[in-house]
Amino acid sequence: MPDTPHLTAVNQKITELSTRMEGEVRLDRLTRALYSTDASSYQIEPLGACFPANVSDVQAVVRFAAESGLSIVPRGGGSSLSGQGIGEGLIMDLTPHLNRILEINPAEKWARVEAGVTLDQLNRALAPHGLMVGPDPSSAVVATIGGMTANNSTGSHSILYGMMADHLRELEVVLSDGTAVSLRPQLPEAVSALAARDTLEGRLYRDIPRLLARYAAAIERDYPRTWRNVAGYNLNRLHAAQQAGEPFSLVPLIAGSEGTLAAITTVTVGLVPRPAHTHLTLLHFPGLREALNCVPQLLAHQPGAVELLDKFFIDLTRENRQYRQRLSFPQGRSRGGADRGICRQRSGTVARTGGSAAGGCAPQRFLRHRGDL
């Protein structure tokens, strides 16, 4: 589509931004086309994309957006599945420059990284320490720690490791007025000192505890009783922490906020030990219902993950030359629409699978595979 006069005027305005930052601003058609999609099935063409070189650049972008009335979409790997990584405004891609691992503390089991570090990148650096990040979305090759925080990501081993909000320790973020602040659990005296500041940060420490107190009953009564919810903000976590008398922290509020509350620049994430052994058990079922009926019994054996792969998917994989050879362990072809359940064990629970992992449910076949998955 040709640029309209309005778009040309907006573009001229955005071009000013490049004079305020070290990183690049790109408004060309190719960039706009590339950033008009993420891993979802939606498409929205943005005005352009910018690539902050450092935190001051992120501040400059946020200030510029506020002054100009433009929206910004912070972006990591763009692997979101519901269109969170696209928008009409300016895309702010943190992956080209804000991608350094700043510190790893194996003794205290945490890592401090810039928001654009990918999960694979961090896990590779953690492997020699026998540590890893708990939440493991299968998009790890592109998913960034900033994007995972903003999406409150989880992964196939969520039974063991929960979601990002369970592991976040501290965040450095840029607020909507362009100020950079550190968020961490604060004792009451520190909250009072922060609340006394005549800044946006100060307002957050004044207003949010007040709002939590005012709406405590509603949060307790009406917050959706789902295990994970990124359709709103984690008010339930803040409320629970307040009830338990824990130090006040705005970190859980940023987890799952999908770039709507602040731009995350640095994440301090808690780490978990890498399992010494992994173990895969493959159960064959005649159909979906039979497989699902078995789940409670599988859970009783404390698996690290339970995954369902249906015949359609396995047959497609067998037809793919690249993946066919990796499918050596599920033996034979399933018949009559059979589904397979995969049950992953992590170290420490391997022995529990034993020969009775299937318990009272009746899989057609029961295969086991030992080794690193």
Residues in contact with ligand FAD by CB under 6 A are 38-39, 73-81, 84-85, 94, 115, 137-139, 142-144, 146-148, 150-151, 153-156, 258-259, 263-264
Strands 180-183 and 365-370: unpaired
CA 36/CA 59 separation, integer angstroms: 23
Cβ proximity to ligand FAD, 242 vs 278, nearer residue: 278
* Minimum distance of ligand FAD from residue 20's CB (angstroms): 19
Residue placing its CB nearer to ligand FAD in the complex, 84 or 281: 84
Residue 95 or 353: which CB sits closer to ligand FAD?
95
Least Å distance, CB 119 to ligand FAD, is: 7
Compute the least distance from the CB of residue 87 to ligand FAD, in Å: 8
The token pair at 186 is 């604060």
Task: Give least dist CB 147 to ligand FAD, A.
Answer: 2
Residue closer to ligand FAD (CB basis): 159 or 219: 159
Write down the least CB distance from residue 168 to ligand FAD, Å: 13
As measured in angstroms, the least distance from the Cβ of 149 to ligand FAD is 7
Minimum distance, C-beta of residue 92 to ligand FAD, in the bound complex (Å): 8
**How many Å from the N-terminal Cα to the C-terminal Cα in the chain?**
47
Taking the C-alpha atoms of residue 120 and residue 128, their distance in angstroms, rounded to an integer, is 14
The Cα–Cα gap between 308 and 339 comes to 8
Q: Which is nearer to ligand FAD, 178 or 259 (CB)?
A: 259
Q: Which residue is nearest to ligand FAD (CB)?
A: 147
Q: Compare residues 125 and 216 and give the one whose CB is closer to ligand FAD.
A: 125
Question: Measured between alpha carbons, how far is 242 from 248 in angstroms, rounded to an integer?
Answer: 7
Strand intervals (E) in the chain: 24-26, 48-51, 72-75, 90-93, 101-105, 110-114, 131-132, 168-174, 180-183, 263-270, 272-273, 278-285, 305-309, 339-346, 365-370
**How near is the Cβ of 137 to ligand FAD at its closest, in Å?**
3
CB closer to ligand FAD, 81 vs 208: 81
Phi/psi class of residue 90: alpha, beta or left (left: φ > 0; alpha: ψ in -120 to 50)? beta
Asked whether 47 and 70 are in contact (CB, 8 A), the reply is yes
DSSP code per residue over 57-92? HHHHHHHHHHHHT--EEEESS---SSSTT--SSEEE
Largest CA distance in the chain: 71
Give the phi and the psi of residue 89 in degrees, each rounded to 5. Answer: -85, -135
Alpha-carbon distance of 140 to 217, in angstroms, equals 38
Query: Rounded to the nearest whole angstrom, what is the least distance from the CB of residue 148 to ligand FAD in the complex?
Result: 4
For ligand FAD, which is the closer residue by CB, 116 or 363? 116
What are 114's strand-pairing partners? Answer: 266
Residue 324 Ramachandran class (φ > 0 left, ψ -120 to 50 alpha, else beta): alpha
Nearer to ligand FAD, 74 or 363 (CB): 74
- Go through the chain and tell me how many residues it has: 373
Rounded distance between C-alpha atoms, residue 3 and residue 11, angstroms? 10
CA 38/CA 31 separation, integer angstroms = 13
